[in-house]
Amino acid sequence: MTLLVATRSVGKEREIRRLLADSGLSLRFPDDAGVPWRGNEETLETGSTFEANALRKAEYFARKTGLPTVADDSGLEVIALGGAPGIRSKRFSGVEGPEEEVDRANNAELLRRLAGAPEAKRRARYLCVLVYFGRPDAVPQAFRGICNGRILEAARGTSGFGYDPVFLSDDLGKSFGEATPEEKDGVSHRGQAFRELAAQLGKSGV
């Protein structure tokens, strides 16, 4: 089965290819499927929830390609910041540009806002919501993953992407930036959600 994964994030693509490497699925990403980037894609992530954003992205690309499609919307929620950056995780700092530059700016903004906060105020969690369309007119299915931790006072490690260097995983006792890809995949929010998706597709005989 060919599955379109509706993301243009280099970091997410790398991670998802690992997570689904043994699934038997043939993965395609928008560029592979001949869907060039268009400015209206920016409006797909203006919903008020992760579910809404994932649904809009999945439906958009399923209709563009006719392929079974999954879209991910994920982010970091910090308790003391009222759940921020949340659905604005990618745009938290307001900086635009290459993915690595945006990640650095977002991490710097998060650390600035939490400067001097005690450990109890640094509790956080990563969330991931996937929405899957088997065909463009199908009833969508949702899959979720959550992992808990806290925000460090300074970045540790250079692995992963996004907020990984400042997120200390409760499960691993180290930051996702210090973890190996295999360690992160085993406990991460995205790993949980994609394993659920793969299991469901396997049960469906796909």
73 is catalytic: yes
- CA dihedral 77→83→88→91, nearest 10 degrees, is -70
DSSP code at position 140? P
Instruction: State which amino acid sits at residue 58.
Output: A
In Å, what is the CA distance from 195 to each residue of 68, 162, 201? 17, 21, 10
Q: Give the HSE-up count for residue 176: Cα atoms under 13 Å, Cβ half-sphere.
A: 26
Residue 106: which of 179, 155, 72 has the closest Cα?
Answer: 155
Q: How far apart are CA 154 and CA 111, in angstroms?
A: 7
Q: Which of 73, 103, 164, 185 is catalytic?
A: 73
Point out the residues that are catalytic.
73
